[in-house]
Structure 1
């Protein structure tokens, strides 16, 4: 029941879908060594505002999927857990058109 509600919200709210995606990615890389929510350092509304404040020409929530959330400094650059936690922080995130994110590489 809760999973169905979350899936429905993700379909109707791209900002929420983006937030959950960022949390999932942090959880994958942290592998239980830290809390994805704490590492992110903000809630949904603050992340939504942070990302929207960096939109470039043509970006909108309706076009989420054509653009992605990019880690400015890739998570793969971390050598310690403290560095990894810092790179998961919302200030290290930006919206980037999908094609440019693929060209940038990283992890």
Structure 2
């Protein structure tokens, strides 16, 4: 057996060991989950029935996550210049204030 064939055999063995080390725990975990919760299924939604979450998202006066919209604006203090900045502008302000927005 020449050195190239030996190298190939060693590489195959190393890859086999690595694959088994990654695969066996994943298979055992899947087996445990299936024994607890049953086989995974693709369930299609029932036509004409909206989920509770969909009703919340489409409700007036709520944001996209179903939470009530806030009418007040929160202000935060910039750690660089100590100005009060509105929450929706804070990230842009920090970028400019820390020098990232310079041209």
TM-based fold match above 0.5: no
TM-score, normalised with respect to structure 1? 0.19
